[in-house]
Amino acid sequence: MKYVSSVLALCLVSALVFSGCKSDSTTASLAGTFIGQTQAMGADSVKSWVTLNDAGYPISVGISFGENALKNLDTTIGSSIELTFPSQAGSAVYNHVSVDWNPKGHEPEPIYGKAHFDFHFYMISKAERAAIIPIPDTVVPLSPSVYPPTYIGDPHEVVPMMGWHLLDSLTPELHGAEFDKTMIWGAYKGNIVFHEPMITKAYLDSKPSFTEVMKQPATYQQTGKYYATSYSIKYNATTKMYSVSLDGLTKR
């Protein structure tokens, strides 16, 4: 009887030790996708979101919209929808996103005259955006180190509430190919202020599954923030939802 009691006591002590070790080494995962703002778009809606990894750091920010969001769109002057990201995206460099629909495209018309969307992922606040006016942005020069070396732009062509645009000089549509998608960067007052996937409606209608590595600069202006290293354009046939996202977020 004494032997049995000793064995039971030993087992109890072992169980407590091992359960204690397990408790100390196990940390609850913070991973998940968190929804920000939702607004009407076309005959459906669009929502912003962020995905976190187990440690709670952002790995993707993006928007999703149902396939009917591409229906009943304005065919004259277009529209702009602004969405905030959820609080869980706070360590990402991206502050908010705008979905800008251009039913007749924009300049230069021979290249970008197709109906398309501009998805602006802004690194500045809404108030800072509102202060951008269409005068030459030449007071504070933009350092070449803060944007990819193949990108080009004109600081004299400032778009109100956006900034001026830098295009990849190697993007296919600048070399005779038809425009379907491209990654644009934006600048204002010496700062990079947005990353912009620009995508034709026709390309979205093709229900793509696309991911591309983003070119990177030599330096990053907001240290300690998470920046994208790739972007994706995807259609999910099961949910009938599209997503446009900046992915592979990395701390700089």
- pLDDT of 179 higher than 70: yes
Q: pLDDT tens across 13-60, in order?
A: 344 333 444 444 578 999 999 999 999 999 999 999 999 999 999 999
Kindly state whether residue 182 falls inside one of the protein's structural domains: yes
Kindly state whether residue 15 falls inside one of the protein's structural domains: no
Region 118-131: what's the mean pLDDT?
Answer: 97
* pLDDT score at 25: 52
Distance CA 236, CA 206 (A): 12
Kindly state whether residue 14 falls inside one of the protein's structural domains: no
Q: pLDDT tens across 206-244, in order?
A: 999 999 999 999 999 999 999 999 999 999 999 999 999
Kindly state whether residue 21 falls inside one of the protein's structural domains: no
Kindly state whether residue 12 falls inside one of the protein's structural domains: no
**Strand pairing report for 230-236 and 151-153:** unpaired
Kindly state whether residue 24 falls inside one of the protein's structural domains: no
Kindly state whether residue 184 falls inside one of the protein's structural domains: yes
* pLDDT score at 26: 73
Print the domain residue range for 66: 30-251
Kindly state whether residue 16 falls inside one of the protein's structural domains: no
**Strand pairing report for 44-52 and 58-66:** antiparallel
Nearest to 117 by CA among 40, 194, 201: 201
Stronger pLDDT, 113 or 22, i.e. the higher one: 113
Stronger pLDDT, 6 or 111, i.e. the higher one: 111
> Number of folded domains in the chain?
1
* pLDDT score at 27: 86
